[in-house]
């Protein structure tokens, strides 16, 4: 390894030897040629150095100039690589800055501790070094051998980049093969290194000058800002003496700048504030370099005192040493006066503000509540907290909080906003409020926030919804009632027509051979009449409840019989019974309750086309157990019939129309839509209630509540099967000529003498003339002028023991039931058949019935 101090070269010319021959002359020629080559290299070196020096004067960045230097170094010295490593004083190491010919990324990113390795030796000794074998040199402290080896460094040179004793870094030139470098080469690299040092020094001097200009400009602007500020500014040294202040601060205190320089901060502060300031210096200023904003008072030159808001900062010199403190001061005299006026006026309306039931509030444009009345605080659970800790979003449900921005935008667009909003109290209660808000502006038109009022309308809206729901229920009930009335009227007229057809067919069959084709055709007519009667029976069941003969019946017995019949028809459905052993009786028409039960079982079966399970339950309940239902039950005891299936279930739309006549979910020709409608009518006609609960795919449960009866279960009298003939006189009363004709014919066929009357008045007149001769009055219920009920009263006035069999195309309704309670013997619905009529008449005219009926009337009278 060769080292040089100040590079120098000695040159001389060897004198010629005349005594030597051609050989000497040849050597002299070779010397001259070598000198020529050296001269060319020197010229090239000077040309490159000149070009570099000129290039350094151009408007380029430091990075561009240093890159040019390493590129030219590599070119001039014909080396594989050349690079500059600069010193980082902050980190205390050297990093690769400008490189030429370097291949490996690790080498480019390499950092070496300052003073280590080849570069460290060059920087600390400030001398250039030639290395002919890098890895063989023992004097070098090898610190990055692996990276250098990967790059392939073998021989090279390094020179310091420095001006005087100020070192900036090191300039390197290396080959990847072994090579001997001359001191002339080292001198050349030295010259280039000096150029690099000059360029670095020049750029840094320019940067320093630019920074000085910026700092001066910043200082000027700072002074302008301080002097032009409405807030006061003052600086004090470590002794508290005021050394600097702005015009605003001097104006607050009424002192001149010179006067203020002769005072300390304690001279202008009332003594009561001195302990607090001393504490702030210790607890805040010395610990973190500034204080929180705080309030204090100052003493003016005239002795008056004014309040101020102040914040103090540590003042430091260029080396970071604390040299005093400076502060920003704001005169808050006007603010304090306004606050005092506000407090004085606030007491006048605070009671009104807090005691109104509406919510009154003020919030800023970010949604932070600034002020709220007591009603608002109590409603939303922060009466013991500051309103400022709550935000409008805090009261909104999570899913609607994004609507806050839309609310603010509406206020900005229109100046006001009103509407409804769901809010949630801290206790989790969700309420609906109706609000009306408006922007509040200052005297200059600036927006201060939002003032508004609101009220809790949760109950009002709930009541409105409940009212709407009840109105819908009433409307639905009225619609069903209207449809029922229409259906009942149609069924009544249709039954009268069927009665005429049925009666004539029955009488005709008595006149033809039972083996003939005419008899079969007449029998077909009778069967068709039966089918029609079933249809009208369903219509009447819906319209009037279908009660023909009311008596105490055993609901458990009905359920067992009907469920057994249903199970035989649908063997793919299991029927489970959960019947109360102490079930009370119900006042009902057994046939109609059987029909209602069967209809519900058929409906359950339709919901389970692939089979399944039905559970039937009965039990005694009180009206209190029916609370929460869509009706208000009358006080009393009830018997519950519950039928649960596990079928397809129903949606809400279906459930709303469930009991409407002719509504069906079945296909065309598969259902009349009267099954559940008739169940509704039957239950209603018996003074009961029905409701249903259902979920799609989970099944449905129907519940029928019938008034319980304390009377003993009625047992029917035995009547012989077949047609029962008899004797006696019967008065038939009906306004339909065809009914009179058919009824007269059927009764005469049974062996009775028949009188006919086409109106109630005529019937009363006939009966009054010979009451003892008439054994039974067969009375139509619905007639013009004098109806069946009024006719019956007139007949009873003539003979209290008059026996009456009611007949109607309607089912047994309230009027007919009252007449039976008053003493009518029975009820038969049109169309009726000869066998049915014979049994009903025989039952009434039997001696036991006659004696029982008369004894009953005597007890009533």
597 contacts 605 by C-beta, under 8 angstroms: no
- 356 or 560, greater pLDDT: 560
Structure confidence by residue, pLDDT tens digits, 17-33: 444 444 554 455 455 55
pLDDT higher than 60, residue 360? yes
Domain range 24-206, CATH class: alpha beta
679 contacts 691 by C-beta, under 8 angstroms: no
Per-residue pLDDT, averaged over 114-121, amounts to 86
Q: Which CATH architecture has domain 729-860?
A: 3-Layer(aba) Sandwich (3.40)
Per-residue pLDDT, averaged over 335-357, amounts to 75
- 809 or 297, greater pLDDT: 297
Structure confidence at residue 856 (pLDDT): 41
| Fold type of domain 229-336 | Beta-Lactamase (3.30.450)
Per the prediction, the chain carries an average pLDDT of 81
734 contacts 758 by C-beta, under 8 angstroms: yes
475 contacts 490 by C-beta, under 8 angstroms: no
Structure confidence at residue 690 (pLDDT): 87
pLDDT higher than 50, residue 640? yes
Cα 752–755–759 angle (5° rounding)? 140
| Fold type of domain 555-709 | Heat Shock Protein 90 (3.30.565)
pLDDT higher than 70, residue 672? no
Token pair of 495, please? 């039954």
How many alpha carbons lie under 13 Å from residue 450 in its C-beta half-sphere?
Answer: 27
pLDDT higher than 90, residue 686? no
Token pair of 263, please? 């005072």
Distance CA 355, CA 363 (A): 20
pLDDT higher than 90, residue 174? yes
Structure confidence at residue 859 (pLDDT): 36
pLDDT higher than 90, residue 851? no
Range of weakest confidence among 354-358, 642-646, 647-651? 354-358
pTM, full prediction: 0.37
Structure confidence by residue, pLDDT tens digits, 729-779: 999 999 989 889 988 988 998 999 999 999 999 999 999 998 889 999 999
> N- to C-terminal Cα distance for the chain?
151
Number of H helices, E strands in the chain: 25, 29
Structure confidence at residue 402 (pLDDT): 82
- 318 or 27, greater pLDDT: 318
Token pair of 767, please? 């009966």
Confidence of residue 534 (pLDDT cuts 50, 70, 90): low
Q: Is 842 exposed, middle or buried (0-12, 13-18, 19+ CB in 10 A)?
A: middle
pLDDT higher than 50, residue 668? no
pLDDT higher than 50, residue 849? no
Among 70, 124, 131, smallest CA distance to 97 is for: 70
Distance CA 496, CA 422 (A): 61
Distance CA 503, CA 314 (A): 121
Q: Report the DSSP beta bridge partners of residue 730.
A: 754, 776
Structure confidence at residue 715 (pLDDT): 56
- CATH for the 356-456 domain, from 3.30.450.20, 3.10.20.30, 3.20.10.10, 3.40.30.10: 3.30.450.20
| Fold match flag (229-336 vs 729-860) | no
Residue ranges of alpha helices (H) inside 56-144 are 62-77, 105-108, 117-125
Structure confidence at residue 520 (pLDDT): 78
Structure confidence at residue 165 (pLDDT): 84
pLDDT higher than 90, residue 128? yes
Delimit the domains of the chain by residue range. 24-206, 229-336, 356-456, 555-709, 729-860
């Amino acid at each position: 390894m060769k080292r040089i101090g100040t590079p120098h070269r000695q040159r001389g010319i060897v004198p010629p030897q005349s005594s030597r021959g051609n050989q000497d002359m040849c050597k002299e020629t070779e010397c001259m040629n070598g000198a020529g080559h050296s001269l060319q290299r020197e010229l090239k070196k000077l040309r490159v150095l000149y070009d570099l020096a000129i290039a350094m004067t151009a408007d380029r960045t430091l990075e561009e100039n240093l890159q040019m230097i390493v590129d030219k170094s590599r070119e001039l010295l014909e080396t594989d690589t050349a690079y500059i490593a600069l010193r980082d004083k902050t980190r205390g190491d050297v990093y690769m800055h400008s490189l030429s010919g370097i291949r490996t990324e690790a080498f480019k990113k390499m950092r070496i501790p300052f003073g280590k390795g080849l570069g460290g030796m060059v920087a600390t000794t400030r001398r250039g070094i030639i290395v002919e074998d890098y890895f063989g040199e023992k004097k070098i402290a090898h610190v990055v051998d692996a990276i250098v080896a990967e790059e392939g460094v073998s021989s090279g040179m390094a020179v310091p980049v420095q001006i005087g004793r100020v070192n900036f870094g090191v300039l390197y030139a290396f080959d990847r093969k072994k090579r001997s470098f001359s001191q002339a080469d080292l001198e050349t690299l030295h010259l280039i290194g000096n150029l690099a040092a000059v360029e670095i020094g020049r750029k840094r001097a320019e940067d320093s000058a630019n920074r000085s200009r910026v700092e001066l400009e910043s200082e000027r602007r700072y002074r302008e800002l301080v002097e032009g500020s409405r807030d006061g500014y003052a600086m004090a040294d470590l002794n508290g003496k005021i050394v600097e202040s702005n015009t605003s601060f001097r104006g607050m205190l009424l002192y001149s700048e010179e006067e203020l320089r002769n005072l300390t901060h304690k001279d202008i502060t009332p003594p009561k504030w001195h302990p607090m300031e001393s504490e702030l210096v210790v607890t805040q200023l010395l610990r973190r370099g500034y204080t929180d904003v705080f309030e204090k008072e100052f003493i003016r030159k005239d002795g008056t005192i004014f309040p101020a808001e102040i914040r103090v900062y540590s003042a430091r010199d260029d080396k970071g040493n604390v040299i005093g403190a400076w502060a920003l001061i704001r005169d808050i005299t006007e603010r304090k006066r306004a606050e005092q006026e506000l407090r004085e006026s606030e007491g006048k309306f605070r009671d009104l503000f807090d005691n109104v039931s509406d919510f009154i509030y003020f919030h800023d444009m970010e949604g932070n509540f600034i002020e709220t009345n007591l009603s608002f605080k109590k409603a939303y659970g922060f009466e013991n907290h500051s309103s400022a800790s709550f935000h409008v979003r805090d009261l909104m449900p999570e899913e609607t909080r994004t609507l806050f921005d839309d609310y603010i935008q509406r206020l900005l667009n229109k100046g006001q906003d009103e509407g409804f909003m769901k809010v949630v109290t801290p206790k989790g209660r969700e309420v609906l409020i109706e609000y009306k808000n408006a922007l509040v502006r200052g005297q200059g038109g600036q927006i201060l926030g939002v003032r508004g009022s609101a009220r809790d309308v949760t109950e009002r809206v709930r009541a409105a919804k409940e009212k709407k729901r009840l109105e819908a229920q009433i409307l639905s009930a009225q619609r069903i009632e209207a449809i029922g009335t229409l259906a009942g009227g149609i069924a009544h007229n249709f039954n009268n027509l069927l009665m005429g057809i049925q009666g004539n067919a029955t009488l005709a069959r008595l006149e033809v051979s039972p083996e003939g084709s005419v008899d079969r055709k007449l029998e077909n007519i009778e069967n068709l009449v039966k089918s029609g009667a079933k249809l009208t029976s369903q219509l009447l069941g819906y319209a009037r409840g279908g009660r023909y003969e009311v008596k105490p019946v055993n609901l458990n017995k009905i359920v067992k019989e009907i469920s057994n019949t249903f199970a035989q028809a649908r063997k793919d459905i299991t029927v489970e019974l959960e019947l109360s052993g102490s079930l009370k009786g119900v006042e009902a028409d057994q046939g109609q309750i059987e029909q209602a039960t069967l209809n519900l079982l058929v409906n359950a079966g339709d919901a389970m086309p692939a089979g399944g399970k039905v559970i039937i339950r009965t039990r005694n309940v009180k009206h209190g157990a029916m609370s929460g239902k869509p009706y208000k039950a009358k006080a009393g005891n009830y018997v519950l019939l519950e039928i649960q299936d596990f079928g397809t279930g129903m949606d809400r739309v279906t459930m709303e129309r469930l009991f409407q006549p002719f509504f069906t979910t079945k296909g065309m020709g598969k259902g009349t839509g009267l099954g559940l409608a008739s169940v509704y009518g039957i239950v209603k006609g018996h003074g009961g209630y029905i409701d249903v609960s259902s979920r799609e795919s989970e099944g449905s449960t129907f519940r029928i509540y019938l008034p319980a009866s304390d009377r003993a279960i009625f047992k029917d009298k035995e009547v012989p099967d077949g047609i029962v003939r008899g004797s006696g006189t019967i008065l038939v009363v009906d306004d339909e000529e065809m009914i009179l004709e058919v009824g007269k014919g059927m009764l005469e066929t049974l062996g009775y003498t028949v009188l006919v009357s086409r109106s109630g008045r005529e019937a009363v007149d006939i009966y009054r003339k010979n009451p003892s001769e008439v054994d039974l009055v067969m009375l139509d219920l619905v007639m013009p002028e004098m109806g069946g009920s009024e006719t019956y009263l007139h007949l009873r006035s003539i003979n209290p023991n008059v026996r009456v069999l009611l007949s109607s195309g309607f089912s047994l309704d309230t009027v007919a039931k009252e007449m039976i309670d008053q003493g009518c013997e029975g009820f038969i619905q049109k169309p009726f058949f000869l066998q049915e009529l014979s049994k009903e008449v025989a039952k009434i005219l039997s001696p036991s019935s006659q004696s029982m009926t008369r004894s009953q009337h005597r007890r009533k009278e």
